[in-house]
Amino acid sequence: MPQLILMDARGQVRQIPIALPSVSLGRSPSSDVVLDSKRASRAHAVIEVDGPKVFIIDMHSLNGTLVNGELIDRHQLAHGDSIEIGTVELRYVAQDQVLSEDEAMRLLTAPTLDTSAPGWDDWDYETERADVRGSLLQRSH
């Protein structure tokens, strides 16, 4: 079953299974997934499952919904997609698996992956992150 991963206001990583055909996201306590962000609308977005396809639909929210940094109205989700609603970032996991808290945290904090690019699964994230940090440190001195 697909799921969403997010970090709550206390810094705890949450894995939320998408177990219903429609899952509401927003600031309202009646939302299926309550988001702790003043920039999120009460009824901000909906996740809809249509057979093997999963979509996120913005519900005409004031601040919009971003997927992989792009403002969307409706978007078919792919494994690893980053979803931004207000100040909350979520990751979409298409696989039917339970992740350890460390695995969920790594996925949540990893940059958005272009899984359609050849060799994407050979990318060494730790080395790339170290290279980027090193170049940033050099520029700051």
Gap between the Cα atoms of 6 and 124, Å rounded: 23
The predicted structure's pLDDT at residue 48:
98
Q: Which residues of the chain have pLDDT under 50?
A: 113-141
pLDDT value at position 130?
Answer: 45
pTM of the predicted structure, to 2 decimals: 0.71
- Amino acid 111: pLDDT: 61
Kindly list the structural domains of the chain, giving each domain's residue range(s) and its CATH number in brackets, ordered by start. Answer: 3-140 (2.60.200.20)
The tokens for 108 are 């949540």
Angle value at C-alpha 2, between 35 and 8, nearest 5 degrees: 25
Give me 100's structure tokens: 């350890």
What residues have CB less than 8 Å from 107, skipping those under 6 apart?
5, 80, 91, 93, 99
Per-residue pLDDT at 139: 45
CA distances to 14, 56, 119 from 17, rounded to whole Å, are 10, 15, 29
Residue 1's pLDDT is 86
